[in-house]
Amino acid sequence: WPRSGGIRGGAAMDLFGDLRRMNKRQLYYQVLNFAMIVSSALMIWKGLIVITGSESPIVVVLSGSMEPAFHRGDLLFLTNFHDDPIRAGEIVVFKVEGRDIPIVHRVIKVHEKGNGNIKFLTKGDNNEVDDRGLYKEGQNWLEKKDVVGRARGFLPYVGMVTIIMNDYPKFKYALLAVMGAYVLLKRES
């Protein structure tokens, strides 16, 4: 019987054995293949940014503040066209100075000035009070510059993988290592 940890050690030895058996040309080919996958993903992301007008066209709902409309782990698709006016009832994703993570909440009040300047107030559907406590100190209203995007569609619970990877960083690194090893060691038929 293998000693404890023997399975992990055996898998690592198989991985290094596979790498040693590859000639340099095969290894370069696999590394190039991996680089093409990464660069394709980045090009798709940048393309989505241009098409949607949003700096972050896809976000994951991280809290239950918008339930029952959106649940933790839902994947939201955003657009952010500047000529499209913000209206009460719309769900927006916004960033507040001093907070790294964008917030997904509903617009509950809009104030439009004659010069076209718009200010608005947000609130989570599942929250008791509006978001003035979340805004930076002294700020009572959001402006269009604070908006990252507006929700246009969603996929339920697809973002749970992201939440799990953020909550358990070791899982994230293990998953990335397995995916990288798979791409590098995959043999062409």
In angstroms, what CA-CA distances link 18 with 22, 33, 153, 168, 180? Answer: 6, 17, 44, 29, 14
Residues 54, 65, 74, 146: which is the catalytic one?
A: 65
Please say if 71 is a catalytic residue. no
Residues 4, 56, 100, 105: which is the catalytic one?
A: 105
Please say if 65 is a catalytic residue. yes
Residues 14, 125, 130, 131: which is the catalytic one?
A: 131
Sign of CA dihedral 67, 73, 79, 82: positive
Residue keyed to tokens 């697809």 = 158
Please say if 100 is a catalytic residue. no
**Residues with catalytic annotation?**
65, 105, 131
